Amino acid sequence: MSRKKPGFGKQLAELHRWNGWLVVFLAISGLLLSWGAIRGWLGEGRVWLKQLHIAVGVLSGILIVLYAPLMKRHLKQLRDRTGQKGNLSFVLVLLIGWLLSGIVLWQLRHFPTHWANAALVVHDLLTWVGLPYILYHAVTRLRWMKQPGRRAIRTMEPQSQSEAETPAASRLPGPTVPAPWMDRRQFLKWSLGAVLAVTVVPPFFRWLGRTANFAPVPGGMSALENPNAMLPEPQPLPDSIKVVGGGAQGSFQVYTVTKLPTFNSGTWRFMLDGLVEKPAEWKWDRFLEIARTVQVSDFHCVTGWSVYRNTWEGIPLSKLLQQAGVKPEAKFVKFYSGDGVYTDALSLEQANMEGVMVAVLHDGKPIHRDYGGPVRLIVPKMYGYKSVKWLDRIELIDREHIGFWEERGYDNNAWLNGQV
């Protein structure tokens, strides 16, 4: 006995239902992944959540593919329903835009680095626009919302038996009650829209302001007041003053696994120890006496954003290691963050690459605390999680060290596309 194939309407309903649940999960998981305040709290779970987010996104793409053969017939049904056709078109643009930009962010190693920046902006923009719309659409389509009469409080007394038996035609008409200018459903829809607008619009404009910052900004990362009391300030070299890179293009996003630390020049120390002939420790003023150089490089985060043409001034790591005298048994270089939690490492060969720098200035200004100052590591050929912020110790070791994010699923070799 053959099983009856579900009808067209039922197929559409099933696809709509599954897509709705997938979008709900993608929305919640995406917001959690982008919420900087809980990155450290999620810990290793963030990596698993990211993988699950990607898998569900792929499933959403499969649903779009399954819907494609039905779309022509569906649009024909909606020929005279302009509103529903507009809604369908908008939702399809959202889903396809999320899918394509998500694929670029997922496989960013296989795309030009500029693509990832654009994909992140598109992904975020569609989220800011799409999620409030989908929430509004979902609530206003609920049966509870569509049938407001079921919510009305009925105050009319039941008719007496004699009234009930009186033919309707013989009853005198009562006074005409004017229709209200807004019924309950309209009131609830407008109220929901107002709440969403108040909730979403202010943070959206703040996001828009940050995203629009893809042009040189005077002062670079240090345009904000720097909470670190590091005196004296480092005096920039001529190339830093001229900002030979033209000024950073893009906007750094603040990620941290701990509360943002603060430092002052009276207590700050920088150590270089481990398997070296000449261990050293510097106070701030003595650290600033070490000869520095200037370089221009791009900075890429594994989450998808990039900042281009940064002018960094600092000490080439290879020079520090050379001065310390690396012992033959040393194989790896371990880096410690001043937050007391974050660590990472490079092989000795990677640490001696051109461009790896212990930086103290960005675009001619002290590096802001929020972006890793007063001193941070810069590894231009690798993703940003290797560029340890608030760097205050370098240790030479004889065995591989697995860093904070590598323990939580990130690649130990964080090569950018084309740099392997």
> Is 155 domain-assigned?
no
Residues 205 and 283 in one domain: no
Tell whether 203 and 235 lie within a shared domain: no
Specify whether the CB–CB gap between 42 and 11 falls below 8 A: no
Residue 119 lies inside a defined structural domain of this protein: yes
Number of domains in the chain: 2
Q: Are residues 48 and 134 in the same domain?
A: yes
Same domain assignment for residues 191 and 244? no
- Please, which residues have CB within 8 angstroms of residue 337's CB and are 6 or more apart in sequence? 343, 388, 389, 390, 391, 392
In a domain, residue 355? The reply is yes
Looking at the fold, whether 342 and 271 belong to one and the same domain comes out as yes
Specify if 166 maps to a domain: no
212-264 pLDDT, tens digit per residue, is 544 444 344 544 578 887 999 999 999 999 999 889 988 788 877 788 899 99
Q: What percent of the chain has pLDDT over 90?
A: 43
Residues 137 and 271 grouped into a single domain: no
Shared-domain flag, residues 225 and 371:
yes
Q: pTM for this one?
A: 0.72
Tell me the C-alpha distance between 187 and 179, whole Å: 14
Q: What is the pLDDT of residues 119-138, one digit of tens each?
A: 888 998 888 888 888 877 77
SS (H, E, C) 61-125: HHHHHHHHHHHHHHHHHCCCCHHHHHHHHHHHHHHHHHHHHHHHHHCHHHCCHHHHHHHHHHHHH
Considering the domain architecture, whether residues 300 and 354 belong to the same structural domain is answered as yes
373 and 228 co-located in one domain: yes
- Domain membership of residue 170 (yes or no) is no
- What is the domain range of residue 12? 8-148+184-211
Tell me the CATH number at 244.
Answer: 3.90.420.10
Question: Does residue 198 sit in the same domain as residue 326?
Answer: no
For residue 307, give every residue at least 6 positions away whose Cβ sits within 8 Å of its Cβ, in sequence order, or none.
248, 249, 250, 251, 252, 298, 299
Radius of gyration over alpha carbons of the chain, in Å? 30
Question: Could you give the CA distance from residue 62 to residue 111 in angstroms, rounded to a whole number?
Answer: 22
Pair 254, 196 in one domain:
no
Q: What is the pLDDT of residue 216?
A: 40
pLDDT of residue 331: 97
Q: Are residues 200 and 121 in the same domain?
A: yes
pLDDT at 217: 41
- In whole angstroms, give the CA distance from residue 26 to residue 57: 7
